[in-house]
Amino acid sequence: MTQLPPSSAKKLGLVIDLDTCVGCHACVVSCKGWNTENYGAPLSDQNAYSGAASGTFLNRVHSYEVQPEQGTAQLIHFPKSCLHCEDAPCVTVCPTGASYKRVEDGIVLVNESDCIGCGLCAWACPYGARELDAKEGVMKKCTLCVDRIYNENLPEEDRQPACVRTCPAGARHFGDLGDPDSDVSQLVAERGGFDLMPEQGTKPVNKYLPPRPKDVEPQIDILAPYLEPVAQDGAGFAHWLDKALSALPGGAK
Amino acid sequence: MSLDQPQLDTSPKVSDEVRKTTCYMCACRCGINVHMKGGKVAYIEGNKDHPVNRGVLCAKGSAGIMQHNAPSRLRAPLKRVGPRGSGEFEKISWEEALTIATDWLVPIRAEAPEKLAFFTGRDQSQSFTSFWAQGFGTPNYAAHGGFCSVNMAAAGIYTMGGAFWEFGQPDWDHTKLFMLFGVAEDHDSNPIKMGIGKIKARGARMIGVNPIRTGYNAVADDWVGITPGTDGQFILALIHCLMKAGKVDLDYLARFTNASVLVNEDPKSDQFGLFLRDADGQPQVIDRRTGALAPWNGKGVEPDLAATHRAKGVTHRPVFHLMADRYLSDDYAPEAVAESCGISAKRIRAIAADLARVAFDEAIELDRQWTDFRGKKHEKMVGRPVSFHAMRGISAHSNGFQTCRALHVLQIILGSVEVPGGMRFKPPYPKPATAHPKPHGKVTPGAALDGPHLGYTHGPEDLLIDADGKPTRIDKAYSWENPMSAHGLMHMVISNAHAGDPYKIDTLFMYMANMSWNSSMNVGGVMKMLTDKGEDGEYVIPHIIYSDAYSSEMVAYADLILPDTTYLERHDCISLLDRPICEADGVADAIRWPVVEPDRDVRGFQSVLCDLGGRLGLPGFVNDDGSQKYADYADYITNHIRRPGIGPLAGFRNADGSGKGRGDVNPDQLQAYIDNGGFWIEHVPENATYYKPFSKDYQNWAVKMGFYDVEQPYIFQLYVEPLRKFQAAAEGIGTRQPPEHLRGRIKVTMDPLPIWYPPFEDGHVDPVEYPIHALTQRPMAMYHSWGTQNAWLRQIHGHNPLYVPTKVWEANGFADGDWAKVTSAHGSIVVPVAHQASLNENTVWTWNAIGKRKGAWALGEDASEATKGFLLNHLIHELLPPKGDGLRWANSDPITGQAAWFDLRVKIEKSAVPNEAQPALPPIKSPVGKGPDELDWKVGE
């Protein structure tokens, strides 16, 4: 078993806006590209050009249909990657110490050289956020782009996870959720950000922002004031038009 | 275990070098940073400085590395050795390939240039390829707009001098209500996603109108699950409600639209329905200052929307009167259309009220002075913060042109086009139909065509038909069958060429168009036409030349393959002469350049055309001494002069790079673009950022930039007079008359004010027998046939179930894992089904172009795209069912010729589970073999 470090003051993580995510998979592929070329073993693909291809991804978008009791069904796009939990069961279950949570920022990582590919951590993770790479036989997971966010070879504005940098709809935010004054903490407070499956007791650092209510029927009288007819017939309309035109700036004939 | 953390290098070297070019994973054309390691592509991300994407990048763009290294890349020129369709080829040299092509093309050009049909598919170099075709002398040139969204483009140009996407965009920074019609996930994709993110961050609202709730509709605050093909009815009902309540911008309508222009009302006049014009030909209005006639553009004129004019016994009324006559009628009331649209009358009224509230009660003002073309100074820019976007969803119907027109009329009566918070044009648009060329089709053997192929017709005199009314063009564009077919009809070329209607051709030359698969209706029929032989044992279409970078399904059906490069290996210009990348606040263009050199014997298609143009001696492609003029496409981009001072690229002109828009050739222009990140942008002056068509400030800047040579302000055409001219001809007016069988249809459909009529399929197919509408949507992570074999993207969309609404699901007793037989009037398919509740109750749908043929794209024969994936195309015919009159009626919009993909009606029944999706076509032999089983792609240490 591996121990978790004392809770860090700095808790780096993601805030994902389910109201804005259009389900485009930009984050999924940007992550695949960066992490295939960088941190540890490449993310491999099996049956790359045949059958039903399957490969390693650190971030996936799932789509769920929600049918409310009343009203129209809705489709929610739900991106999911490691939530960098404060009480990360994937770390404590690791028999070799390969899985660890960083002291300085709370990022959960796998030290691939110590990973024996036993898969216990993937089994322990209630979110299904870890994937064993079929070619390399090591456990892969979101690194929060630890090799980008501090990287002095990148311009400062690019020191954020690849998925955040690429998200076209701006639905992904990165920051310190341990700091109540940070932009991401403020966003969580304003929008009622929530934990995924809090009953699991993992205390995830990543938060989700809920979708706004949809298909809300207007409570106003739809005719007045906006659609009150100006006249009941064509002649009346012509009369209204004359009057309306003369009321326009410079409209006196 | 200990708490010792491993040492981690958090600042690894990212790459040796970043090369900035333009993405080509779809037609969005974002700026990309290509990170290089050891001369290889290591990682691709968005370019933060780029005007289109501001650093973001979609799934396709990020997967470019898999596209660039795809095993399906063609490796060398190929000559067919087996029968057509077999996929049996031999590799040949470029010299042999170009000699074969030249030997076929020289006699055609000398004797009958129209025997070459040159159609360039998803080409983004149309100003270049059309120039080549014009030099060759064939009238038979177009790209793919006819089977894509020409209804949207043409309706926009005729109505307001631009539509969406390349033409215009919502004012994302100011809009408060955004209304989206139909599938739009594939075009202008990142800007729309960025825009939706922006408005949501501001708390602005979004309404999605689409039978299918996925993608952007999934995040819309309100979803309107409309019945396919009824968008026009819905929009005209909104117009009815707004007009009836007087919630229209009368000042805007009077000044900036032809609502005030006077129309001849005398049914006995040969001018009936046409504008009253003065001696200079200018349409007339009544000037409210004097009560007298005045030209629409007269200095200081205050056009009157109400006043009529009677002269020589003929009454003339302003267009706005005609609109009131029509749209105030209860025929357009929400109650009259609710059932057909599948939207309650109450909901239609609520949406109309919402539009009215935001447009008028939440109007915004920017403190920017501007001057209109009549010389009137405006102290502020007033905005109606309601914006719209639409693309193929409403346009791919046989009533699409009029539906797109209706949408633009809705935008205009709200006063929300080219104003703050509304829809804004992107330079070099706006540009009215009158500022575009007319179509040209006069053939002279051995010489160039008499002008550009494609353009805008303004009446029967502009049609491309001979004295007997026979179409000039192989696709019958600009004939009475579709008089305003501004993009041609690529989907009819093979069918017409095979039928010899209007004539036979010799050589079909195509680029980037998968016509034997997802780009054609009636796929099986097209394969047969391509392989059919005449009594002489020769192919009915004698020669087929095809250029593509990849082993697409079409490759097998060509005789000669000219292999193109990937997008990272080539020069391109995204030109103002073509389909530029501008934003509303700036004019911009961009390049691609070889960030890596090809490792195969392939050449950029445009460079090959420079070579072929030289060999054929085409005007514009040879020097005075007959030698080849442009060594390659880069040479053309740099040195071609279209008009004095105007070339393919507008930036960094003149030898010192100082020229903006206009200027001399700069031999170092491409390097200047590379140094600037692959693009050029010049911002619109602040007092010219809105009201562009009417603004002296904008018009002046547009001439300075070289978009046109004289200022050409105009007003929006709510009433499109050219439509009336065709309609009048059908009523018997004029000397150029339509054939009898088309007269009735033209009278009804070419109405100068927007109308709705049922999709043609509803009239040909029994709606009781075929009660279900069938559509495709465009996935955001795939683009047509360009990306489907991509190793990463195919894990997101590797097959495509048919999504079925609850009512149909339950009626058929479907369960997970079931398959269904789906039948149209034309054919049947057997496919996997999946349940979706967030769907119009009479609509089924699937993702477009995921299904692949065995043997194509270097995929294994067991690939999910070929075993479970499928195309709806098998159910759609390029012709409507025969009427017994011996005529071939195209399944297209009768005005523009746009392919009516979305008119499709089907019936559905449970099927036994087959081994694979039906029809299962036999494999084609892959000219490139099969891709590797496993990938672990890492180019660095």
Contacts of B41 (CB under 8 A, 6+ apart): B34, B35, B65, B68, B69, B568, B595, B596, B939
Q: Per-residue pLDDT for B33 more than 90?
A: yes
Q: Which is nearest to B900 in space by CA: B757, B768, B722, B739?
A: B757
- What digits encode the pLDDT tens for the residues B454-464? 999 999 999 99
Question: In a mutagenesis test of the A interface, which of B26, B62, B319, B840 is the best target, namely the one with the most A β-carbons within 10 Å?
Answer: B62
Set of chain B residues whose Cβ sits within 8 Å of the Cβ of A222: 346, 349-350, 353
Question: What is the average pLDDT across A123-132?
Answer: 97
pLDDT at B594: 98
Residue B172 to chain A, least CA–CA distance (Å): 12
- What digits encode the pLDDT tens for the residues B656-685? 999 999 999 999 999 999 999 999 999 999
How many angstroms separate the Cα of B833 from the Cα of each of B328, B516, B903, B909? 44, 25, 21, 11
Pull the structure tokens for residue B704: 């300075």
Query: Contact B71/A49, CB-based, under 8 Å?
Result: yes
**Interface size, chain A vs chain B, as Cβ–Cβ contacts under 8 Å:** 318
Report the chain A residue with the minimal C-alpha distance to residue B224: A215
Report the chain B residue with the minimal C-alpha distance to residue A187: B201
pLDDT at A245: 87
* B311 touches A at CB < 8 Å: no
Q: How confident is the model at residue A226 (pLDDT cuts 50, 70, 90)?
A: confident
Domains in chain A, ordered, with CATH? 12-209 (3.30.70.20), 218-253 (no CATH)
Q: How confident is the model at residue B580 (pLDDT cuts 50, 70, 90)?
A: confident
ipTM reported for the complex, 2 dp: 0.96
State the DSSP string of B714-762: --B-SS-HHHHHHHHHHTT-SSS---HHHHHHHHHH--SS------HHH
Domains in chain B, ordered, with CATH? 168-425 (3.40.228.10), 761-911 (2.40.40.20)
pLDDT at A222: 58
Residue B47 to chain A, least CA–CA distance (Å): 10
pLDDT at B333: 97
Query: Contact A226/B198, CB-based, under 8 Å?
Result: no
Q: Per-residue pLDDT for B2 more than 50?
A: no
Question: What is the average pLDDT across B563-570?
Answer: 97
Cα B799 to Cα A176: distance, rounded to the nearest angstrom: 39
* B862 touches A at CB < 8 Å: yes
Question: What is the average pLDDT across B717-731?
Answer: 98
- What digits encode the pLDDT tens for the residues A170-189? 999 999 999 999 999 999 99
Query: Contact B795/A67, CB-based, under 8 Å?
Result: no
* B352 touches A at CB < 8 Å: yes
pLDDT at B441: 98
Is the Cα dihedral B66, B71, B75, B81 positive or negative? negative
pLDDT at B884: 87
Bond into A225 cis (ω within 30): yes
Q: Per-residue pLDDT for B587 more than 70?
A: yes
Query: Contact B795/A96, CB-based, under 8 Å?
Result: no
pLDDT at B187: 82
Q: How confident is the model at residue A252 (pLDDT cuts 50, 70, 90)?
A: very low
Q: How confident is the model at residue B436 (pLDDT cuts 50, 70, 90)?
A: very high
In this complex, the residue of A48, A151, A226 whose CB is nearest that of residue B353 is A226
Where do we find the tokens 């707004």?
B242
Q: How confident is the model at residue B783 (pLDDT cuts 50, 70, 90)?
A: confident
- What digits encode the pLDDT tens for the residues B608-659? 999 999 999 999 999 999 999 999 999 999 999 999 999 999 999 999 999 9
Q: How confident is the model at residue A253 (pLDDT cuts 50, 70, 90)?
A: very low
* B308 touches A at CB < 8 Å: no
Q: How confident is the model at residue B787 (pLDDT cuts 50, 70, 90)?
A: low
pLDDT at A203: 97
Report the chain A residue with the minimal C-alpha distance to residue B780: A24
Q: How confident is the model at residue A219 (pLDDT cuts 50, 70, 90)?
A: low
Question: In a mutagenesis test of the A interface, which of B329, B792, B864 is the best target, namely the one with the most A β-carbons within 10 Å?
Answer: B792
Q: Which of residues 273-302 of B touch A (CB under 8 A)?
A: 288, 291, 302
Report the chain A residue with the minimal C-alpha distance to residue B200: A20
Report the chain B residue with the minimal C-alpha distance to residue A21: B219
What integer best gives the mean pLDDT of chain B? 96
- What digits encode the pLDDT tens for the residues B501-549? 999 999 999 999 999 999 999 999 999 999 999 999 999 999 999 999 9
Asked if residue B141 lies in contact with residue B119, where contact means CB atoms within 8 angstroms, the answer is yes
pLDDT at B3: 54
Q: How confident is the model at residue B57 (pLDDT cuts 50, 70, 90)?
A: very high
Residue B569 to chain A, least CA–CA distance (Å): 20
Sequence-ordered strand ranges (E) for B166-247: 168-170, 177-181, 205-209, 222-224
In this complex, the residue of B9, B62, B194 whose CB is nearest that of residue A29 is B62
- What digits encode the pLDDT tens for the residues B122-164? 888 999 999 999 999 999 999 999 988 999 999 999 999 999 9
How does DSSP classify residue B40? E
* B882 touches A at CB < 8 Å: no
Where do we find the tokens 């991804």?
A57
Asked if residue B696 lies in contact with residue B373, where contact means CB atoms within 8 angstroms, the answer is yes
Query: Contact A33/B62, CB-based, under 8 Å?
Result: yes
Query: Contact A22/B193, CB-based, under 8 Å?
Result: yes
pLDDT at B1: 41
Question: What is the average pLDDT across A119-141?
Answer: 98
Q: Per-residue pLDDT for B886 more than 60?
A: yes
